[in-house]
Amino acid sequence: MTSRTLPVSSTVVDSILFRDAFGTAKMRALFSDHALVQRYIDVEVALAKAEARVGVIPSEAAEVIAREASIERIDFDHMREETDIVGYPILPLVHQLVGMCGDAGRFVHWGATTQDIMDTAVALQVRDALDAIDADIRELRAILTGLASKYRDTPMAGRTHLQQALPVTFGYKAAIWLAMFDRHQQRLAALRPRVAVVEFAGAAGTLASLGDKGFEVQAAMAEELGLGVPATTWHVARDGLAEAVNLLALVTGSLGKIATDIMIMASTEFAEVYEPFVKGRGASSTMPQKRNPISSELMLAAAKAVRQHAGLMMDAMIQDFERATGPWHAEWIAIPESFILASGALHQAKFALGGLIVDSARMKHNLGISKGLIVAEAVMMQMAPHTGRQAVHDIVYDACRTVNERGGTLAEALAALPAVTRYFERDAIERMTDPANYLGLAPQMVDRAIELSSRI
């Protein structure tokens, strides 16, 4: 490989080393330079067709523009050089389109301004990217439904503040994950019509250059592109795009929560779940025994990065007057990277959860390491009708101290107390100190979550 052919990518979303860890080929393609310029051309062609439909430009000119405007004829090197001078890519593009279209070229970009073309192109990109995210979430929800159903009744320790608290089931945990993504699916559906809208309004957003034909052209252009028509110009009202990236922050935030659960549960001391086994995946360069949770680590990293971009998009909403002096440019960074990182995180989640190895025996073992103390509340609730709540609290507290200081199980400590054996035989004590008998409505919550998810 010569110096001329050395890779020049410098970020993880395009790196030959990291791009498939942090993104997907499909999402990179949607936001590639080639795809973006094609969208610019699509918008210019749609504008010409729309203006011809309402009699603003000759129909013959629109036909020529539609026929001759071709990305294959774009000189990208020249466009890059001119963009570097102008600061925006549309005037350099228009120069080339005019040259392609001959006499009809004088009608290219008629009545439009740079941001009209760029914003509408981004609306098209985001519309298609949201479709891809929507499909990924649906696939992930199917995986989570399977996990919730399969492990509906598999008991494990529920933990609060990283301490064992009360028994739950692994299916219950998966159902909580599922419900998060049910909500994300609903949020995405609600968001789409707010962001998939055309932006065509001219120099200051008033459509002044088209006289009384402005609304007609705007509507016809939206129809050509399959976009909605906004109530007002949105070139300095960026809430739609900010909402889209903040939705991605919510999605990746949920993935980060799942990743954190998996990473801790996969630690040697827990050993309750593992990411799918692939020879060499998660290997250490020095410790052959290591099996690092790589997909979860990538999901967590993406969550942190997209969160930063969500904040950037909120900052970019603060735009001055009728054309911003800089916040808009920040979106050029945040939007593509956020979608690529989110798609990469969803890809890693589908891999990790789709082949998740669940060690039910280890979960049962860990549930028993407190020797019954995890269900001290269950004992209190069953004894309280006989002794009163405060009295039973003291009784069970003393029994727990006995286990902590002298060993044995909670059942054994309780069985040694006359205040307990007065009401409960040994078999009953064993049953009420068995964690598997104190799952609350966890299994029923799984059923409810799956049923509600099926309606979305």
Catalytic residue positions, numbered = 161, 284
Helix, strand or coil, per DSSP, at residue 208: helix
Of 345, 247, 244, 254, residue with least CA distance to 294: 345
For helices 114-150 and 214-225, angle between their N-to-C axes, nearest 10 degrees: 40
Helix, strand or coil, per DSSP, at residue 166: strand
Tell me the C-alpha distance between 224 and 47, whole Å. 8
Of 169, 244, 179, 149, residue with least CA distance to 435: 169
Contact present, 198 and 225 (Cβ < 8 Å): yes
Q: Which residues are CB-contacts of 44 (< 8 A; sequence separation ≥ 6)?
A: 65, 69, 93, 94, 97, 108, 109, 112, 117
- Residue whose structure tokens are 């005037």: 91
The distance from CA 336 to its chain's CA centroid, rounded to whole angstroms, is 14
* H or E element in which residue 157 lies: strand 155-160
Tell me the C-alpha distance between 208 and 293, whole Å. 58
Using a 10 angstrom Cβ sphere, with 0-12 exposed, 13-18 middle and 19 or more buried, the burial of residue 326 is: exposed
246-281 as b/e: b if 16+ CB within 10 A: bbbbbbbbbbbbbbebbbbbbeeebebbbbeeeeee
205: alpha, beta or left? (left if phi > 0; alpha if psi -120 to 50): left
Of 186, 314, 178, residue with least CA distance to 258: 178
Q: Which alpha helices (H) appear in 294-439, and where do they start and end?
A: 294-316, 327-354, 360-368, 376-387, 389-406, 410-415, 418-421, 426-432
Tokens of 115: 């941001």
194: alpha, beta or left? (left if phi > 0; alpha if psi -120 to 50): alpha
Tell me the C-alpha distance between 267 and 264, whole Å. 5
